[in-house]
Structure 1
Amino acid sequence: MVKEIERYGIPIVHMATITTISESVGANRIVPTVAIPYPVGNPKFDKGEEHALRKTLVKKALDALAADITEPTQFE
């Protein structure tokens, strides 16, 4: 699905815990996330830490959308 959407010129960021799967499905912009049951969160964090973590991951995804890339890239 990722490749098909990008084929129409719409950049996609694939946020995933297992980045090798993202690469195998053809995602060009990959943002590694936290864990399988909580990809963009951590239930052990308090509300403020959780918000900061999510904000960081979304910022990485937005930066990835704006990046000019020529090959599949992970944004750490």
Structure 2
Amino acid sequence: DLPPGVVVQRRTDGEQAFLFVQNFTGQVQQLSLPAGLSDLIDGSVVGESLVLAPWGCRVLSVPLTEGTR
């Protein structure tokens, strides 16, 4: 479950999945994510917990596998 005010949209290009994670609140929000995601802005690897700043946005990616296409 996502915290109130947090939205995740998923898009793919056939090779990778892209997750657009947006916090539409003025509060810090924390959410759980699957392992293996990379931040497209700074190149960091994201752990299983993501902290979003107030009004924050993160763009994450993960390579697609046969089972996730």
TM-score category, normalised to shorter length: under 0.3
Based on CA coordinates, which of the two structures has the bigger radius of gyration?
1
Kindly indicate which of the two structures has a greater share of residues assigned to helix: 1
Q: Normalization by structure 2: what TM-score?
A: 0.25
